[in-house]
């Protein structure tokens, strides 16, 4: 009888193809079997060490809850009915036990998540036996345990009233290929309520994205309430309901950190600062000058008066005040799209340049280094956009982090200068591309970064392309970015998910899949369908990637099928 049952379970496991494995990002080392295993109704997750931190206990509770509520059926034509009908006699898994490696401190997940990039330990080892004996999850930190819990929650399907896997025993040894795996959200073009940001942070954590790059202000609005500069949000936010208070910031930072995510705040300077003129007009050159296209990358025009000592001191004080709101070791001061024509027609800027005998680029370098010094005093490492080191040739210390956005072709030049860098290239990772022109009176216009960047495009990215072997250590990772000229709360989920998950796997798993095969879209697509279905089950409105007919029949809709 036992032999017959084993044969049935083996047949069922084989019938459910390997591709249904719903792991994303796929672990770097993974081995699986062909034995069916059920979750017991009394299944529990327990820490083997004393006094687990509260955010780890919360993560355990969420994991157990998802195991009950995801109800993700296998993506097969019968939605797992045949398999579920035969797993009733399979062994039951009653518990997952969490442990920290010898000597590791049980710090809060939040504390581990906000350590400097490159110093966080996200590794873990997960083992799920086939016989129903307890599963184990071991890590060097609570952050590693959190990553392992995320993986464990993806191992299971539900059908016919059974929650099961057909791939036991499962053994995973995992750690990220890159320490920086990010998502950037612009909340200045259009405002996003705190609840939308939190939902996005949840989704990020499910695919192990660990950096929330918050582009919080820009020329269009200044929605951040900054202590000592309250006039900015009061006068430059869209309205009183479109402001992030200090309490909101604290809430977002703590919510993110408990989910293994560090918040990298960006206050873009000296360009993209027109909104500041609403509260401090003395510091802004060419405010809302027209025609705007002569003075800015997009309306409204306006830039900080970088040659003014008063403005430099104002900016340094503003950045310092913002820096104190965010515990991250990183802070971005932007630095992109500085418009020299704006300064050329600004009488005050020209008078100051002439009085000191300096050029605009010399003034920009002095402005940047003075403002950076202010945040460095608070323990922050500055982050800048690529123009600062490629176009403006500002002299910056080599620990400055550079984000490459204009083109992936620029990566090599940044690396050659010895800067650590983050991939954010518009030709792979800009989620807003391909939506058509948002500027009015331009009937035939398209977005500047056409075409649409599909998940397949970003998934094909090679982080080391055109980078010498000696420079590869400078690559911190990468991020998807959503600039929101044409996005708001109404389309946040569909435009981001699951596309942003593609980059999460690129920068977690690296170039090769478990077993050594090159990372490839054909094997990824069935798993990414699972990501979408699971996200929707958890309240994130991720889009479908194909007709359901295709999703239920992996690779049948490939171009070469």
Q: At 103, is the pLDDT very low, low, confident or very high (cuts 50, 70, 90)?
A: confident
How far is residue 90's CA from residue 93's CA, in Å, rounded to a whole number?
A: 10
How far is residue 261's CA from residue 250's CA, in Å, rounded to a whole number?
A: 14
Cβ-based neighbours of 469, under 8 Å, separated by 6 or more? none
**154 closest CA partner among 506, 529, 515:** 529
Q: Is 173 helix (H, G, I), strand (E, B) or coil?
A: strand
Whether pLDDT at 2 is above 70:
no
Residues 240-253 as b/e (b if ≥16 CB within 10 A, e otherwise) read eeebbeeebbeebb
Residues 68-73, mean pLDDT to the nearest whole number:
97
**191 closest CA partner among 129, 263, 239:** 239
Residues 77-106, mean pLDDT to the nearest whole number:
95
Average pLDDT of every residue of the chain? 95
Euclidean distance between the first and the last CA atom of the chain, given in angstroms as a whole number = 42
Q: What is the pLDDT of residues 215-262, one digit of tens each?
A: 999 999 999 999 999 999 999 999 999 999 999 999 999 999 999 999
Q: Is the pTM of this model over 0.95?
A: yes
What angle is formed at CA 160 by the lines to CA 159 and CA 166, rounded to 5 degrees? Answer: 50
Residues 320-344, mean pLDDT to the nearest whole number:
98
Q: At 12, is the pLDDT very low, low, confident or very high (cuts 50, 70, 90)?
A: very low
Q: What is the pLDDT of residue 7?
A: 45
Whether pLDDT at 187 is above 90:
yes
Residues 113-138, mean pLDDT to the nearest whole number:
98
Residues 489-499, mean pLDDT to the nearest whole number:
98
Q: What is the pLDDT of residue 245?
A: 98
User: Sign of the CA dihedral 389, 395, 398, 402?
Assistant: negative
Contact criterion met (CB below 8 Å) for 405 and 481: yes
Whether pLDDT at 91 is above 80:
yes
Q: What is the pLDDT of residue 321?
A: 98
Q: At 536, is the pLDDT very low, low, confident or very high (cuts 50, 70, 90)?
A: very high
Q: What is the pLDDT of residue 102?
A: 87
Q: What is the pLDDT of residues 361-401, one digit of tens each?
A: 999 999 999 999 999 999 999 999 999 999 998 999 999 99
């Amino acid at each position: 009888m036992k032999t017959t049952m084993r044969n049935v379970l083996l047949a069922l496991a084989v019938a459910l193809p390997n591709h249904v494995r719903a792991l994303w990002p796929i672990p770097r080392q993974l081995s699986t079997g062909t034995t069916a295993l059920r979750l017991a109704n009394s299944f529990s997750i327990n820490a083997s060490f004393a006094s687990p931190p509260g955010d780890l206990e919360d993560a355990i509770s969420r994991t157990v809850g998802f195991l009950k509520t995801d109800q993700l059926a296998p993506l097969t034509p019968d939605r797992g009915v045949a398999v579920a009908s035969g797993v009733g006699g399979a062994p039951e898994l009653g518990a997952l036990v969490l442990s920290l490696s010898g000597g590791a401190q049980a710090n809060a997940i939040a504390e581990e998540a906000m350590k400097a990039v490159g110093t966080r330990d996200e590794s873990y080892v997960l083992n799920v036996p086939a016989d129903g004996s307890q599963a184990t999850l071991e890590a060097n930190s609570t952050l590693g345990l959190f990553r392992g819990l995320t993986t464990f929650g993806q191992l299971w399907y539900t059908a016919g009233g059974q929650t099961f896997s057909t791939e036991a025993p499962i053994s995973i040894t995992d750690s990220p290929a890159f320490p920086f795996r990010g998502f950037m959200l612009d909340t200045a073009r259009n405002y996003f309520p705190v609840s939308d940001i939190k939902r996005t942070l949840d989704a990020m954590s499910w695919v192990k994205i660990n950096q929330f790059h918050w582009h919080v202000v820009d020329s269009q609005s200044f929605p951040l309430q900054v202590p000592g500069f309250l006039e900015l949000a009061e006068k430059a936010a869209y309205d009183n309901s479109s402001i992030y208070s200090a309490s909101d910031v604290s809430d977002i930072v703590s919510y993110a950190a408990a989910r293994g995510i560090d918040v990298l705040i960006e206050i873009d300077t000296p360009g993209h600062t027109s909104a500041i003129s609403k509260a401090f007009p003395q510091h802004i050159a060419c405010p809302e000058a027209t025609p705007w296209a002569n003075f800015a990358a997009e309306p409204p025009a306006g830039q900080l008066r970088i040659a003014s000592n008063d403005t430099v001191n104002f900016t340094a004080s503003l950045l310092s005040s913002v820096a104190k709101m965010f515990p991250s070791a990183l802070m971005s001061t932007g630095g992109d799209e500085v418009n020299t024509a704006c300064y050329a027609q600004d009488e005050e800027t020209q008078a100051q340049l002439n009085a000191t005998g300096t050029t605009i680029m010399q003034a920009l370098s002095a402005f940047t280094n003075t403002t950076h010094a202010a945040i460095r005093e608070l323990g922050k490492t500055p982050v800048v956009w690529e123009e600062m080191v490629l176009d403006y040739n500002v002299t910056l210390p080599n620990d400055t982090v550079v984000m490459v956005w204009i083109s992936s072709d620029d990566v090599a030049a940044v690396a050659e200068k010895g800067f650590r860098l983050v991939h954010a290239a518009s030709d792979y990772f800009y989620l807003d591309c391909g939506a058509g022109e948002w500027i009015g009176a331009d009937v035939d216009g398209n977005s500047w970064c056409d075409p649409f960047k599909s998940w397949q495009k970003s998934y094909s990215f090679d982080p080391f392309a055109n980078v010498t072997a000696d420079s590869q250590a400078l690559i911190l990772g990468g991020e998807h970015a959503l600039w929101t000229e044409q996005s708001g709360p109404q389309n946040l989920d569909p435009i981001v998910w699951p596309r942003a998950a593609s980059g999460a796997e690129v920068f977690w798993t690296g170039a090769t899949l478990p077993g050594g095969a090159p990372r490839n879209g054909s094997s990824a697509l069935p798993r990414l369908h699972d990501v979408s279905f699971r996200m929707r089950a958890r309240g994130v409105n991720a889009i479908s990637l194909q007709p359901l007919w295709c999703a239920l029949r992996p690779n049948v809709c490939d171009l070469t099928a």
